[in-house]
Amino acid sequence: MLCATLEDHGKVALLRLNNGVTNAIGPQLLQDIAAAAAAIRKGFNGLVLAGGRKFFSIGLDLPQLLSLDRTQMAEFLKNFNQVVLDLYSLPLPTACAIAGHATAGGAILALTCDFRLAAAGRTLIGFNEINIGVPVPYLADLMLRQLVGDRAATAMLYGGEFLDPPAAGAIGLVDDIFDKEQVESRAVAKIDQLASKAQPAFATMKQTRVESICARYRETARDIHSNFLDCWFQGPVQKLLHQAAEKF
């Protein structure tokens, strides 16, 4: 069974995370997203990224990843960042429909899109990595700072707290808020409208927006990955990660 599936909405593809209730991010989900992204690039003019009604995505699949040794975790981290980079640089209009919580790695996936539409109510969005002793990956840090500015990003990343949609909207992390039942259809409608515009012009403008972030990441990826892994495999951090994994 695929952990991410494509739904055809004419010019727009809806890529749905489909890995149980939490949509935890493990190797299979990454593989399925990567394959879907390649298909979307060839066959559609826009993308909506969606998850479930309770969780868009809870983040990395800690119970699965904690069984990996350093070499295996390094491979997963490289693949995760490549998927993030591929979605972020997709030369098409993209929106994330956040009907459920988007936390940690889930929030990172949401950052890859041009727009984020969230469900009203207690739909939490944010990065709690600092609370379990690991840094937010460098690429995600760059993307967040570009989106909301340095001061707001610093407050989010250092504080490790989740935001509700109005708070996320106040800093520009969320673009619109709708009833849970409307989030996906509104996202599809928004991207469908953008997908009707001149595609070469859109692709060129998007490249202008994302290229500096992509280039900065590529320049330092190896060292940054090593720093993340050093933190991940520290004894006290492993203890915190195992405690967090018990909530999955």
- Is 225 within the bounds of a domain? no
Provide the CATH number for the domain around residue 85. 3.90.226.10
Domain count, the chain: 1
| Residue-level pLDDT at 239 | 97
> For the range 110-114, what are the long-range contacts, defined as Cβ-Cβ under 8 Å and sequence gap of 24 or more?
110/49, 110/56, 111/84, 111/140, 111/143, 111/144, 111/147, 112/49, 112/84, 112/87, 112/88, 112/143, 113/47, 113/49, 113/87, 114/206
Nearest to 126 by CA among 237, 75, 116: 116
| Residue-level pLDDT at 55 | 98
- Residue pLDDT tens, the chain, 248 long: 899 999 999 999 999 999 999 999 999 999 999 999 999 999 999 999 999 999 999 999 999 999 999 999 999 999 999 999 999 999 999 999 999 999 999 999 999 999 999 999 999 999 999 999 999 999 999 999 999 999 999 999 999 999 999 999 999 999 999 999 999 999 999 999 999 988 899 999 999 999 999 999 998 877 788 999 999 999 999 999 999 999 88
| Residue-level pLDDT at 76 | 97
111-136: string of b/e by CB count within 10 Å (b at 16+)? bbbbbbbbbeeebbbbbbbeebbbbb
| Residue-level pLDDT at 62 | 97
- Is 136 within the bounds of a domain? yes
Task: List CB contacts of 106: < 8 A, sequence separation 6 or more.
Answer: 23, 25, 51, 55, 56, 57, 58, 59
d(CA 147, CA 111): 8
- Is 95 within the bounds of a domain? yes
- Is 238 within the bounds of a domain? no
- Is 213 within the bounds of a domain? no
- Is 236 within the bounds of a domain? no
Q: Which domain does 39 fall in, by range?
A: 4-183+190-195
- Is 167 within the bounds of a domain? yes
| Residue-level pLDDT at 1 | 83
